[in-house]
Amino acid sequence: MKKFRNIKPTESELEILNILWTNSPVTVKYVNDELNKSKETGYTTTLKLMQIMHEKGLLTREKEGRSHLYSPAIEESETKQAILDKMLETAFGGSAGKLVMQALGNNKTTSEELQQIKKMIEKLEEEK
């Protein structure tokens, strides 16, 4: 897979990438069926978007019979890190603390997630 290289996926492209990061290689039909679980999306819309993503370098495509199998061409962790870095810089002035406080203040956090956060904080404190 390629590195992020300043490619900024749109919200719709991220929805498709999230499907492909866990289930690839797959057909357009598979992606469309997965998208339709949360919102109605036409097959041709999904096909066109995936073709554009392929042209942009976000997806790879291989022919198998009469179908094409698509896979992500960019790494999940690098893509999400680049998006987070950009949001952190533009929306929170580079402050990770402000980002975390905003996220924890506006969403329901499970006790398991809070435990993971506490462990991460302890680990970070040990490293200092």
Three-class DSSP category at 1: coil
**Angle formed by the axes of helices 28-35 and 43-56, nearest 10°:** 120
Could you state, in order of their start, the residue ranges of all structural domains in the chain?
1-94, 95-128
**What CATH class does 1-94 carry?**
mainly alpha
User: Comparing 33 with 124, which gets the higher pLDDT?
Assistant: 33
**Measured between alpha carbons, how far is 54 from 9 in angstroms, rounded to an integer?**
12
51-82 confidence digits (pLDDT tens): 999 999 999 999 989 999 999 999 999 999 88
- The tokens of 107 are what? 């969403």
Residue 39 zone, left/alpha/beta (φ > 0; ψ -120 to 50; rest): beta
Distance CA 36, CA 19 (A): 12
Q: Give per-residue pLDDT as tens, 70-126.
A: 999 999 999 998 889 988 999 999 998 888 888 888 778 888 988 998 999 999 899
